[in-house]
Amino acid sequence: MRREFKLPDVGEGLTEAEIVRWHVKAGDDVKVNQIVVEIETAKSIVELPIPWDGVVTGLLAEEGQTVDVGVPIIAVDTAEEGGAPAGAAAPAGTEAADRAQALADDMVPKPPAEGAVEPGAHGSPAPKEERQSVLVGYGVKTGATKRRPRKHAPTDTAPAGPAAPSPAGASSAAAAPSAPAVSPGVETAGRGTAEPGATGTAPGRVAVLAKPPVRKLAKDLGVDLTTIIGTGPQGSVTREDVHAAAGAPETAPTTAPELPQPLEERIPIKGVRKMTAQAMVASAYTAPHVTEFLQIDVTRTMEAVHRLRALPDFAEVKVSPLLLVAKAVLTAAIRHPMINSTWDEEAQEIVVKHYVNLGIAAATPRGLVVPNVKNAHTLSLPDLAQHLAQLTETARAGRTQPAEMAGGTITITNVGVFGVDTGTPILNPGEAAILAVGQIRDMPWVVAGELAVRKVTTLSLSFDHRIVDGELGSLFLRDVGAMLEDPLTMLAWS
């Protein structure tokens, strides 16, 4: 039995996803709950398992393709060996498969009824029974989705004799006699003269069978495929035919002609980058930002980092200056609770949070993400180090899940890893403050009236001026700086 697995709603209320990487190919055996594909939504990369045992008969979406929720992405043959006779009772295994498919189908949101209006569109809400919880800015698409046509070879031919007249507008291919079957994966192109029996081609053209790699080889060698008589299956053109036509030996290396460098490049705005852009625009035009700067001597902090690395409690984790920066921010947030709050516009209230979910901005190949350490204020220093290491490793691998990015209360961004001294960071939406840490480098510094070379960095704090006034922002930044100049202060205030 051929079953098609549809792209499910992965629980984020989104309506589409990009196929990032397939873990299987046509002909592979698959087991229930085996990971078969990685998809990227607007929030993260998610791995999808298959709900059946069987053999993959086809991948219905390509890597890099954006697919709507509910569209089939993979076909699996779940029949027992030898197949079940018609009318026979279904084996017990198919009942489980049916339940799995039903569960997968339940995850796919149904489109609104004809005439229904999404909330906020044209000022009229959609009917209650048709409403769905979706991310703001992503309406549920009502149009019918189109699936990529399957590549199957025709198995029977039209009856001999003259073709019946076709109605106006009907495809000419429907009335033409049948053509030889075309192997899957082989493309066709037109030749200059017509031959009887060609199907699906315009008048005066016949099919030239060749696979995409062969077509590319012909293009690189400057060979016209329409001038070659193919020696492959069903008369398809092979690599050997192309080499022979070009007068080059089969094993001769080919070099693609150099193409002029394009003056412009267009990159689709999608996935994590699209989500980040929307969040940053919303933050920048909602919260009035103020940024303050503080340059500090962190020589003692760097010495403390080296000493911590030698302790047995930190033998299995990476200790970096970010660990002590995070501890300083957590301590200062407890001393100044208003810095760890959010503005509730609807209720006209400031919500002060007596817990800290510490966000760490992480650059990934797919864009900026800000996962957070839940209840970071309750963690010991070794536990905090372990959570930070795991958080950054997961983010760089593109495995951060939506729940790990939700609920942050204050954020740190380390621009120093890029060799940058400072910056004016934009607030993570819903938060009142974000601290940027610049690179740590040797600089001349006055110590006890004498000029010395010290480890120096610059801190910059952006805050929501609706909640945090200049005094509170300055006090918080001063305290963070004082703890990093002398880590003993951090111990005294913890």
b/e code 207-228 from CB counts within 10 Å (16+ = b): bbbbbeebbebbeebebebeeb
Q: How far apart are CA 304 and CA 298, in angstroms?
A: 10
Provide the CB-side half-sphere exposure for 262 (13 A, CA).
3
Sorted by sequence, the CB contacts under 8 Å of residue 407 that are 6+ apart come out as 357, 372, 374
Distance between CA atoms of residues 384 and 397, nearest Å: 20
Rounded CA separation 371/391 (Å) = 7
Measure the CA–CA gap between 477 and 333, rounded to whole angstroms.
10
Q: Which two tokens stand for residue 92?
A: 């017990």
Cα 300 from Cα 486, distance rounded (Å)? 6
Decide if 465 is catalytic: yes
Please check whether residue 175 is in contact with residue 199, taking contact to mean a CB–CB distance below 8 angstroms: no
Of the listed 23, 289, 336, 465, which one is catalytic? 465
What residue type is assigned to position 418 of the chain? Answer: F
DSSP state of 179: -
Give me the residues paired with residue 76 across strands: 3, 56
DSSP secondary structure, 126-161, as one string: PPGGG-----TT-PPP-SPP-PPPP-------PPSS
The letter for the amino acid at 6 is K
Extract the runs of DSSP E, i.e. beta strands, from 384-438.
Answer: 410-414, 433-437
Per the structure block, which two tokens stand in for 412? 């740190």
Cβ atoms of 244 and 223 within 8 Å: the answer is no
Pairing of strands 358-360, 410-414: parallel
Transcribe 29-73 into DSSP letters: EE-TT-EEEEEE-SS-EEEEE-SS-EEEEEE-S-TT-EEETTSEE
As a whole number of angstroms, the distance between CA 198 and CA 15 comes to 41
Residue 237 is given by DSSP the state B
The span from the CA of 468 to the CA of 364, in Å, is 30
CB 378 within 8 A of CB 399: no
- Name the token pair of 481: 């700086």
**Three-state secondary structure call for residue 351:** strand
Give, as one character, the DSSP assignment of residue 310: T
With beta carbons less than 8 A apart as the criterion, state whether 337 and 356 touch.
Answer: no
What are the catalytic residues?
465
